[in-house]
Amino acid sequence: MANLKEIRNRITSVSSTMQITSAMKMVSAAKLKKAQDAITAMRPYAEKLTELLQNLSATLEGEVGGSYTTQREVKKVLVVAITSNRGLCGAFNTNVIKEVKSTTEKYKGAQVDVLAIGKKGNDILKKTHNVIDNQSAIFDALTFDNVATVASLITEKFTSGEYDRVELVYNQFKNAATQIVQAEQFLPLAPIAKGTAIAGDYIFEPSKEEIVMTLIPKSLKTQLYKAIRDSFASEHGARMTAMHKATDNATELRNQLKLTYNKARQAAITGEILEIVGGAEALNG
């Protein structure tokens, strides 16, 4: 009976775990809907802003972009690692950390520092990398203004010459079950090809140059905000998927334990019956 009691305790424990994972799945599903709507609504704006900047820059003569496009010998690199503040989301954070390490190896001979956005990434990467800052609090109030402050900080580190290149590493949201790890160059801006502008008779006020120099900082802030929004939606999608699998596994394990319990109980009852029958036959004999 001690064995039966142990199995009953395990069934109770697994059932409790199943209830927790099921609840977490439903919470993540609700949050995912909001986060997915936010990134879906933002993407057309971000893409149109980039298109406008490229189209306008392609019509200008000479060097465009000022200090934002300065190509320097890569001696110091800043990697912005965007992870989550919480776990239980499968390989979501692990994939970003692996990509950060891969990016670090790509810049052999250069000093690579990390700016962490997300507690999980900060906690793991600070053991192996030089983490210069942790902006995890941004997820407490994920707004464009808060992200713009971080984007300005990163941009200042590049334009001042403190870093020669800035890379973003994050999970891009595709759907609830699929997140694609991205490592993209944030600064310097990639050269824009000339002669690709869409023809049109426009009057620019102020000048094209002033418009471009105004759009570049705004485009960088939007790019970082989109990356964080992508990561935020991916996090909830990954957690919902992970909790769904955990619930299914817990259900399967509970069913197996119930089957084991019933078999053990049946064997115990059969044993008791045999003992009674054997005792009765001994008395009759």
Mean pLDDT of 65-81: 87
Q: Cβ contacts of residue 205 below 8 Å, gap of 6+?
A: none
Q: Which domains occur in the chain, in start order?
A: 25-241 (3.40.1380.10)
Residues 230-240: tens digit of each pLDDT? 999 999 999 99
CA distance 223 to 150: 12
Mean pLDDT of 29-58: 86
Find the catalytic residue in 89, 96, 238, 250: 89
Residue 204: phi and psi, rounded to 5, are -100, 130
Nearest to 225 by CA among 43, 37, 28, 34: 43
Q: Cβ contacts of residue 243 below 8 Å, gap of 6+?
A: 21, 22, 24, 25, 28, 88
Is 89 assigned a catalytic role? yes
Amino acid present at 230: D
Mean pLDDT of 256-266: 91
In this model, does residue 51 exceed pLDDT 60? yes
Burial class (CB in 10 A: 0-12, 13-18, 19+), 236: buried
Q: Cβ contacts of residue 145 below 8 Å, gap of 6+?
A: none
Secondary structure letter of residue 135 according to DSSP: -
In this model, does residue 126 exceed pLDDT 90? yes
Residues 137-162: tens digit of each pLDDT? 999 999 999 999 999 999 999 999 99
Retrieve residue 153's tokens.
């900080």
Mean pLDDT across the chain = 88
